Amino acid sequence: MQKRPRRSGRAFERLVSIMATLRSEQGCPWDRKQTHESLRPFLIEEAYELIDAIDKRRIKDLPGELGDVLFQCVFHAQLAAEKNRFDIL
């Protein structure tokens, strides 16, 4: 398997930057209103969709489902970073 740490690292940094923009004053009103508690159902839903793809051996769906779970993780991490609980990067 070929490793692509630089490309992957830049892509992850871009995702974190997009999330910060979505949560900013110039960002999306819906995203700005969210809390860990309000996002909980979305994280659960995305995790179940990933598990379903794994259980049904839908390998072609894994990148998208993993991306959805990662997006939820970054969303929660951004919320915590805004409260200075920890850094994402």
Summarize pLDDT for 31-73 with one digit per residue, the tens. 999 999 999 999 999 999 999 999 999 999 999 999 999 999 9
- CA-CA distance, 88 to 13, in Å (whole number)? 9
CATH class of 5-82: mainly alpha
Reply yes or no on whether the pLDDT at 22 is more than 90: yes
Closest CA to 31 of 85, 87, 84, 71: 71
Roughly what angle, to the nearest 10 degrees, separates helices 5-23 and 62-82?
50
**Per-residue pLDDT tens for 2-13?**
666 678 899 999
Structure tokens belonging to residue 22:
């979505």
